[in-house]
Each structure stands twice: as structure tokens, then as C-alpha cells.
Chain A
């Protein structure tokens, strides 16, 4: 919990235990790839579910939103986005398979469009290259 990547702590306002991205694979203005490594010892697996743990879909959505936070385009925002707060304005995901720990979730976010401080992303979460969730989300960057 306390071993968060210092680079991530600079780029995202989230903190453990609600910082789910554990490593950045690539990052540019408008696109980011990252991973969330889960050991199976995370607290929420005690209840989701006893004896057969599955990564909660809402947390996969949050991890994708954090990945999108790494990809917010600099040039489209009146406020420089990185390291600032952003609010999830919309999310629409389709889940095609469960993710069971231990597992490394590969997270990808690519900007699809922007208007001012509002940014829409296409997002995908994969396990070993196979998509398990995909959809769109929007983030509003706050001043």
C-alpha cells in the first residue's frame, strides 16, 4: 500500500488505498498505458467474493479512469491537468470476462474528443492481451 510509484504520486491526485494504477507502461498527451498488479491479498477480496475472488468491475472502471487521468491532453485544457483533480463525468463499460487474482490488468486509455476541460476516452482493460472490459468514459478537469 505504501510502495506507490513516486512518479504516479506526482501525476495523479489519488493515494493508497485508492490508487490502483501500479505502473506506467507508456504515456503521452492523449494516450496512456498502465497496469494494475493484484496479488489477491487486497482487502476487498475478502468480500468480493469469499472463496472465489473476482476483481470488482467498478474498481476496474476506476483504474481505467486513473489511466485516463494520465492521458489528459495538455493542449486542450485551460488548466494543466496532470497532478490535479479530475472528476469522472461519465462511464460506460462492457465486461466480457472476470479477472481473478493474482492478475496483472493492462489498462489503456486514448482520448476520443475534448471540449475545454471535458475529455472523452476510449478505454480497454486486458489480461494477458485479452480484453476483459472496454468502453468509454469522460473526465472533467477541475481548476
Chain B
């Protein structure tokens, strides 16, 4: 066999259901959810890998994988159709001794030890498919190697008052971790785990096997593997990432991350020819903006026909906005039609929806008590009848 040794390969955890995204993940895994007009969430970790020189990525799928499998395909859009390495979809499969679904994040990697061994890597990068960020993993790998760490965890500084929502790393001055606290009530630091880990492979392998043999374990990286490694006195380091990072696991955070492309200056800037985010492109013509249209502070992807008003919004590939329709502070996912005079405010409209004329979805928070307002969501392929009213916070 050819020597396929790779210094570092990536394993992308893409099997989660993403139930907090409600209807948006009804029929697809969270990493396949559209983002930013022409992307899907998984484009971010995949593009990060390629832009970091990592050419071997295993994608662990389990929940509703069809859409994701089709999207990833042979990996060509990300330049991951390689002879040695490239992208591999890794669903759970029947093994001779025992077979099971992926029970947790660590178990998913455990079940693919053979895949990883084929590349005989020194380090393994563990990623998840629900974060929007641009990151050069090479810098983190360099940090990991120069500390001779057994495990390096990427962290981002979050406001201390929000720290109790995250897994928090308590570190010494040299960035070594002495304690990991999952969602602490009284956080001692504001270094939140980004769900990006680099392990020395021999060390990780040992812990994965031990974890598998421990019936009490939840087989989870955050709950089991990392705390056990700490207890055993291994060298764990926190790598501070500076830049944009957002967990888009909820409706609100998904909406906010899209809106972060529109702030001035943009919090999330995807216009960077040195660090492109790649995606699978569909053959759509250029977008047409008619003389009746108004387009202010918005991103409009290709294949759209815009005859109405689009303000502070993201209009994805292949959408139509008919005359006098208004789209404000909203995210419209691909191939959706917004009919005449329809009003969409503070909403996420899924792919391939049809909003008929005069319908109204969502509204401005200023007219509501905070407790009565929320982002309105219309799931993939839904039809909203003429004159229908979808109230703020309603999820269809």
C-alpha cells in the first residue's frame, strides 16, 4: 500500500440533529442548513480545512444524512477530491463484532479508528458542523506542537456574563488548562471552548478505547474525554482564537450570524480573496434587479429576480421577490418565492417556500413586549397562503 501518512487529518462531527433549529433541521442535518446567501454551515469548517492545508477530512454523519451526503459529494467544490485523502462521509456501519449508532461525539470517532489509522496521523483535528467562523488551523497546530501538548482546545473570549452558557477553560499563565467546566454557574474565566480540538493521535486513541470500555461514560469529548485526560495529568492547552466565531445552534443565533454580515463594519466578513469560503454552486444566471426594486444593505446571491423591497436582509440563490413585497431584517433561504405585497420582517424563510401575495410573516420587535416577540420561521418547502398572518416568534 502507498504510504498515506498525513501529519494532521480532520474529523468533522456532523451527525447531530440540531433540534433547537426546529423546522429548519426537520429533514436535514444541521451542517446542511443554508447560511449567508449561498453557503451551508458545513462550508465553513470544510473551507477552513482546505485553507489550512488539511486535505483529509472524515465527516461523521448519522441524523438525516441524505441532503448532506449529496451536498458534499466527492468534495470537489472544496478541492477535497484528492487521490490520497480528500473528503470521506463516515456513517455508522455494521462491524463484525458489534454494531451500533454513534452514541456520542467520542464514540463516533472511536468507531472510525480504522479510518484514522489508514492515514497514520500524528495529530487529529476534531471539528463540529455548527459554527460559523474563519480559522487557520495551521496556527493552532503550530501552537499545539510547540507546546508538545497532548490536546489543544481552541477558545474564544466571551463576555463573562455569558460564560455560563459555554464550556469554560480555566488556564494558567502559559495557557495550559488546569480545569474544564461545562456551563459553570460562576465562571472563573471567559475562555469558551469553540468545539475545535487537536489531539496527539496515539493519546486520543488510548482514551477513546478506554472510554468505549467504560459503561458509565456518555462517550462525549466535553464531558468525558477531556476531563479524564486532565485528571490523568496530560498536557492540555487553550489556544486563543481571535476573530469571528458563532455557534448557530439556535434560531436566534442563526439569524444573528446572518445579520452579522450586514453590520457596519461587518462583524463577519466573507469577502476575502485570501481566505475564501467555498460552496457547491448551482448553475444560476446573474440576478435581475428591476426598476421597481429597492435594495438597501443586503446581500443578494445569484439567480434572484427582485422586483420588491429588500432591506437589511440576506436573499439566497434563486429567490424571487415580486412587486411591492417587503423583506426586512430577514434571511430568505434558496429558491423561495415571496409574492406581491407580502411582508417579511425579522424572519427566516426556509428553502423552496412559497409565500403567497399579501401574506405577512413576522414583525418588528418595537411593537411588542420582549416576551411576546421572536424571530418567525417558515420551514423548508412550506406554503404560506394568501393574506395569511404568521406572528412574530411563530415557527411553521
Q: Do A and B come from one complex?
A: no
Interface residues of B (CB under 8 A from A): none
Residues on A close to B: CB < 8 A? none
